[in-house]
Structure 1
């Protein structure tokens, strides 16, 4: 049940942040008294800015607790109460600041952002990478056995719609030459439509393997499947409602797992230098 509520929550949350911020700004400019609406704008605006900023970032991680954003949200709520309590718009102001602002950010941080039950024996370090079948961007089948023969960095990402996934791919692309010099292959895997994967491959123009996990078959086998993990509404753009939890796997040339990052927060991905460090620690790379 919780997994089905998450995609509805995130779409509704961002929409209400935008609507409330616009309404607050309108009332500040054209109406009076404005004190309560200033509080509403402060309670909603920072998180709206946060989501807009996500789509422009080149960094695949944020502060897990978003401390500054929480502080501004609570400050906005206090301003709303102090200045708005005697005004005709007090009820709607409290709804925006208290419910959408304070309650919304609490749900986003403590519930939506986090994954549960990420432990999976299929990705235990030292074990061989399980067998599974993927497809390239043109629909040709590729077995996980194709990763044997060279150390491989495998990144399971949610899709082109996910800004932090795109930032993570940007970071790895910037490391391309260093990884290539070490003999490391890179495979990027997503359950998104093939056309989206082809577009991504054209965008980055690096010799990575851009692969598709049809119907999340590999994700289910590896224990990293995210049922109803796609925000509501993205189905209109061709994305399936199910997706994958962001996961990074590094295998050695024999196909054994030497590193697996199963983040419990979608906003926290490994630092890009971590991959090089892991490879050197396991003497996979010189």
Structure 2
């Protein structure tokens, strides 16, 4: 069993880049300001749709907190585009997240249970709030589709972190 190295709170966000639907790329480490990257399991996941739907309804709250929102998966462009067409997500969506990139992000990686589920290994859910210095301010990594953070709480928390100058938590080195 191959283990991923978990990304530490306060660590620089890795310099990964993924193709973005509609052109260009999603490269959170190269962006400026506050950014939220949500990693979803892919088109095959029935729990991802409502979760990303909630993310879409919170776009204005994240924007008010100065946070750019994006989502990525291992899906190929066709599957990611089908989801965007079906659900109308307004945030940028990246595709073709590789297993090596999943490992770099410290994500859990699963194999499909059958060819009907999907045709490639995929990342289990992950969420990364990256601060303007490019450091991971908040992260949540799960190994199951039903264990994900409350996105409204993340939006409120992002605003509170900025308003209070709240430090990165979980960095005790002793």
Do both proteins adopt the same fold according to a TM-score greater than 0.5, normalized to the shorter chain? yes
Distance 1:284 1:130, change over 3 A: farther
Structure possessing the higher relative contact order (Cα contacts under 8 Å, 6 or more residues apart) = 2
Extract unaligned runs of 5+ from structure 2: 166-174
Q: What displacement does 1:154 show?
A: 0.7
Structure 2 CA distance, aligned partners of 1:232 and 1:150?
Answer: 40
1:152 corresponds, among 25, 35, 42, to 35
Extract unaligned runs of 5+ from structure 1: 4-116
User: Quick check: which one's helix share is greater?
Assistant: 1
Structure 2 CA distance, aligned partners of 1:139 and 1:159?
Answer: 19
How many residues align? The count is 165
Distance 1:285 1:240, change over 3 A: farther
Deviations 1:142-200 (A, max 9, x none): 43334x31211111011011011112101111111111222211110000010111122
1:161 is matched with: 44
Matched, 1:243 2:122: yes
1:207 corresponds, among 63, 84, 90, to 90
Larger radius of gyration: 1
State the TM-score, normalizing by the size of structure 1.
0.51
Structure 2 CA distance, aligned partners of 1:202 and 1:223?
Answer: 29
Deviations 1:83-107 (A, max 9, x none): xxxxxxxxxxxxxxxxxxxxxxxxx
Deviations 1:29-53 (A, max 9, x none): xxxxxxxxxxxxxxxxxxxxxxxxx
State the TM-score, normalizing by the size of structure 2.
0.81
Q: Where does 1:48-197 land on structure 2 (aligned, <5 Å)?
A: 120=6, 123-138=7-22, 140-146=24-30, 148-197=31-80
Distance 1:265 1:214, change over 3 A: closer
Query: RMSD of the TM alignment (CA)?
Result: 2.7
1:272 corresponds, among 151, 158, 170, to 151
Structure 1 CA distance, aligned partners of 2:47 and 2:164?
Answer: 27
Structure 1 CA distance, aligned partners of 2:148 and 2:128?
Answer: 12
- Structure 1 contact 182–285 (Cα < 8 Å) conserved: no
Structure 1 CA distance, aligned partners of 2:84 and 2:164?
Answer: 26
